[in-house]
Chain A
Amino acid sequence: MTNWLIWNSHWHSEGWVLSSNVKCFGVNLHFFSCLFLVAERPAPEETVTSSFGRFIQSVQPRHLSPTVLQRSKRMVLDSIGVGLLGSTTDVFELALQHCQHMYAPDDVSFVYGRQGMKLSPTLAAFVNGVAAHSMDFDDTWHPATHPSGAVLPALLAISDMLHNNSKPSGLDFLTAFNVGIEIQGRLMRFSNEAQNIPKRFHPPSVVGTLGSAAACARLLSLDRSQCSNALAIAASLAGAPMANAATQSKPLHIGNASRLGLEAALLASRGLEASPLVLDAVPGVAGFSAFYEDYAPHPISSLEEDEHSFLIETQDIAFKRFPAHLGMHWIADATAVVHKTLVGLKGGSISPNLVQDILLRVPLSKYINRPFPETEHQARHSFQFNACTALLDGEVTVQSFQPEALLRPELHALLSRVRLEHPHDNTANFNIMYGEVEVTLVSGDVLRGRCDTFYGHWRNPLSQESLQKKFRSNAGAVLSNERVERLIEAVEGLDHLDDCKPVLAQLQ
């Protein structure tokens, strides 16, 4: 396929009017730029929005460094595992019924944990995205979002959709995946507000949707103006408020981010146009800036001029060890230390009767401060719950959020003894927060634990062994051991695969 750009410009008494004719796939697209009354220059400066469109279209596999390849393969593996485990949840079942009611079950794209079942690509992206976030077990980045769950389901759904002879190569797939991650990282750096634990909009629903659109645009080989339009269309599909975090609806934020990003790319591929300035800061008319109080965008530099450095290279990602909000990991690790000490002191299992008071020093964040969570979703977003679980069991696991575990009387006894403190130096920011616990025993002894960087955080990443162990445990909940091992192997060698069928085959 050939793309070419023809710039026509004609001079008006007050400025320039620019238009470009772009031929792509034999379909004529007219891209008319918005009016800039620029007095003299023959062409406008590149806008932030168009620089993004250009980047998405022009980035190549050769731009992916070894570190980027390695880290992104880890993300792909973790995300698949988490999605497979998530296919066992209630919310997943619900979302699936919802989609099946709309479509007969013999469409094209696979569904996690449902061998033989297919849905349309956008709905497959939706349910698989829901699965990925259903237990809050998926990866977390800095600035805060869950980047992979928004991108991977859509890419897998497209790959399934493409004809057997034209499946993307492993490297193409990884390029598209990294484009989706990179775009999210870039967008979050346009706002200082985005650096802290979110209060207004749930980040995956904001940047995740655009990340998915970018990744899909890349995998579908859209031209640069189509890539820009995909982002702009996606902006009109972005944004879900934080209030639905810690509820059963939260996983839908990722599901929708994936689905709607794919929809945006498909609409753009059919010629739908949207704002050419959606990522730029235009006074009086909000674009992507609508989602932030403070918004200062920058263009992505041209790939010809500089060597592009993907953000994942310098800012690694966190993989969770148990399915709960990231903040819980600090407090769990801190409390595990106390548990160990206590076991050493008293031997055997921990009885609540030993404990008089539990003090937690954590950052101030309303939606993860829940003294008596009632549902599993609330429990995953409760400093108190995770601390008490870690104190009783020495660790927090997948099983910690099951109904029987939620209802334990020992746990409830401990929960009523927890207090929270929010020290000034404990900022609500995943890069600098810490967790501290102080357990006062009835005997008068005070046991302390502190965690600055939990195991799995980007400063202390999971070893490849630990990551694979997590994957085996997750994927093994729904797949045979054979398939589990083949998936590990396929993802590990993804950048060498001629096509990504080996990965898809194990998931069908």
Chain B
Amino acid sequence: MFYTYISSFATFKIQMHPMCICGVTESFGAAVSCLSTSHLTDEVIRRSKRMILDTLGVGLLGTSTPVFNTVLQCSQVRMQALENSKVWGRPGLSLPPQYAAFVNGVAVHSMDFDDTWHPATHPSGAVLPAVLALAETLPVKPSGLELLLAFNVGIEVQGRLLRFSKEAHNIPKRFHPPAVVGVMGSAAATAKLLGLPAAQSIAALAIACSSAGAPMANAATQTKPLHMGNAARGGLEATRLALLSLEGNTQILDLESGFGAFYPDYVPHPLAEVTPTSHYRWVLEDQNIAQKRFPAHLGMHWVADAAIEARAKFLDKCPNADLSQIKKITLRVPTSRYVDCPLPVSEHQARHSFQFNCCTALLDGEVTIETFSKSHMNRSALKEMLLKVQLENPQDNHSSFEKMYCEIAVETTQGEMFTARCNTFYGHWRKPLSHEDLVRKFRANASTVLSAEVVEGIIYTVDHLDTNQDCSMLWSYMHFNKHMMHRDECRSSALA
């Protein structure tokens, strides 16, 4: 049904371009349409499978959040649409693909638990929900390798775009990166999955660009996850509009008034030409990704690791020490206004608070999912400790996830000082999670929503994604929920 729709209304414009690809936009269009499964290297496949697994787990956990439920209510429409895609963790509930991509994307970013890259963005959450929602609607389902290709095209485009601005290398201040590059990645990935020719891929990118951009002020609020959802949705929508022959500016990535509008220093470069036999150097190959150990802003992970180390030293010296003996805590961190929150009130603020994560790590020796629950946040011992924290922003501590560090100095009432420093937390791209730990994280997240059987099914499917011809069980697995009955099951049990 989808393909008859295409043949009735779409007109493909085959663009004849000369041997040299000069324009940046043109080069992106060419790359998106020419990259094939043969260009995927082993390392890229391995890394992207890890990203997919992590993203699915984080998404499943996220389906239990209030923000996910809010957007789900808003996205449900009265009438059945012509095509629907499954909502994660809600058996029996499907939405038009853009809306499925939207809610699932919100789920992924709902707890700030998803992956982070350098230059800074959360790349997978913008791409995976869109790719899966679209794949489900295709009459001929893509193979696992084709899915991996589309996914990687979406990641690649984001990485390339981020490299067009120096400002993008630092912790963002103006626009939230997933809302800027994420929607472009989603457009590229979905264009790839549909096999669009270069000209239409360009149109998809141009249309997506008009949906890009959300200000940083909504980070640390309940609205932040929508940035991810909207990126996934906007990119998919852009591709569908391009398929209907909508056109935008064919120079969208070349112009300051185009994608350049989002950066004060925008210097784009064309991508290298892609031929069927050439070797392609993926950004993911050269720049690995960070996967979080607990659901908070990436900067918190340095703080937690440093605080845990200082705590260990303290308890080592004074095994029965009472942590209320701490007089003062100094944190040396980079300047970043939106994660400097001395007394967070909401869970969203807590996930974006150097101070909160530091004190939790000192008190508990760890930061976990539970840390951000109301009961944990309201502990008086924690609140008292928060008052003892002071932030310092040393000159050499750059606001960049590549260069920052965290130093902690804990001063006790006895006059003793315990210091620790973290340059690279465990989970950072320089020190990636082991396979066991990554899978452990997935199991912990996914089993809040899925039965053990289904959890293992997903692990297996993702692990074998590159050799699997049929990966449709992936979205079927994501559609379960051990706490809910499928609508049809409800009806039949009522009738029984």
What residue in chain B is nearest A241 (Cβ atoms)? Answer: B261
Interface contact A248-B248, CB-CB below 8 Å? yes
Is there a chain B Cβ closer than 8 Å to A43's Cβ? no
Interface contact B206-A237, CB-CB below 8 Å? no
Mask for A223-262, Cβ within 8 A of B = 1, else 0?
0000000001101111111111011110011001000000
* Cβ-neighbour of A237 out of B230, B256, B342, B349 (below 8 A): B230
Interface positions, chain A 235-294, Cβ under 8 Å from B, are 235-244, 246-249, 252-253, 256, 263, 266-267, 270-275, 277-278, 282-291
Please give 12 more A-B residue pairs, beta carbons under 8 A apart, in addition to A95-B241, A104-B81, A286-B217.
Answer: A12-B387, A35-B341, A103-B81, A201-B261, A236-B226, A248-B248, A272-B70, A273-B223, A286-B175, A287-B215, A287-B218, A289-B215
* Cβ-neighbour of B257 out of A35, A235, A238, A241 (below 8 A): A241
If over half of B's interface residues share one DSSP class (helix, strand or loop), that class is named, otherwise mixed; here it is: loop
B409 to chain A, nearest CB (A): 20
B171 to chain A, nearest CB (A): 10
Please measure, in the bound complex, the distance between the C-alpha atom of A272 and the C-alpha atom of B73, giving whole angstroms: 11
Please measure, in the bound complex, the distance between the C-alpha atom of A19 and the C-alpha atom of B255, giving whole angstroms: 46
What B residues does A19 contact at CB under 8 A? Answer: 345
* Cβ-neighbour of B222 out of A107, A239, A272 (below 8 A): A272
Interface contact B246-A273, CB-CB below 8 Å? no
What B residues does A266 contact at CB under 8 A? Answer: 74
Is there a chain A Cβ closer than 8 Å to B67's Cβ? yes
Nearest 6 pairs of A and B residues by beta carbon:
A284-B337, A287-B217, A243-B258, A240-B210, A236-B214, A274-B223
What B residues does A367 contact at CB under 8 A? Answer: 257
Is there a chain B Cβ closer than 8 Å to A106's Cβ? yes
* Cβ-neighbour of A249 out of B5, B240, B249 (below 8 A): B249
What residue in chain A is nearest B244 (Cβ atoms)? Answer: A94
Please measure, in the bound complex, the distance between the C-alpha atom of A507 and the C-alpha atom of B210, giving whole angstroms: 29
A28 to chain B, nearest CB (A): 12
Is there a chain B Cβ closer than 8 Å to A32's Cβ? yes
Interface contact A94-B245, CB-CB below 8 Å? yes
* Cβ-neighbour of A284 out of B73, B212, B335, B349 (below 8 A): B335
Q: A104-B79, A199-B257 are in contact. Are A270 and B218 (CB under 8 A)?
A: no
Interface contact A286-B173, CB-CB below 8 Å? yes
Interface contact A247-B249, CB-CB below 8 Å? yes
Interface contact B218-A278, CB-CB below 8 Å? yes
Mask for B314-356, Cβ within 8 A of A = 1, else 0?
0000000000000000000001111001111110010000000
A-B contact pairs, 25 of them (CB 8 A): A15-B343, A98-B244, A101-B5, A103-B77, A103-B79, A104-B80, A236-B227, A238-B213, A238-B214, A240-B211, A242-B258, A243-B252, A243-B257, A244-B209, A246-B249, A249-B206, A252-B246, A256-B210, A267-B70, A270-B70, A278-B217, A282-B337, A285-B173, A286-B215, A290-B217
Interface contact B9-A290, CB-CB below 8 Å? no
B207 to chain A, nearest CB (A): 6
Is there a chain B Cβ closer than 8 Å to A91's Cβ? yes
What A residues does B173 contact at CB under 8 A? Answer: 284-286
Is there a chain A Cβ closer than 8 Å to B379's Cβ? no
Mask for A104-124, Cβ within 8 A of B = 1, else 0?
101100000000000010000
Is there a chain B Cβ closer than 8 Å to A17's Cβ? yes
Interface contact B210-A235, CB-CB below 8 Å? no
Please measure, in the bound complex, the distance between the C-alpha atom of A282 and the C-alpha atom of B216, giving whole angstroms: 11
Please measure, in the bound complex, the distance between the C-alpha atom of A249 and the C-alpha atom of B202, giving whole angstroms: 13
A283 to chain B, nearest CB (A): 7
What residue in chain B is nearest A240 (Cβ atoms)? Answer: B210
Interface contact B210-A274, CB-CB below 8 Å? no
Interface positions, chain B 175-222, Cβ under 8 Å from A, are 175-176, 179, 206-207, 209-222
Interface contact A97-B218, CB-CB below 8 Å? no
* Cβ-neighbour of B337 out of A252, A270, A283 (below 8 A): A283
What residue in chain B is nearest A200 (Cβ atoms)? Answer: B261
Is there a chain B Cβ closer than 8 Å to A405's Cβ? no
Interface contact B251-A243, CB-CB below 8 Å? yes
Is there a chain B Cβ closer than 8 Å to A164's Cβ? no
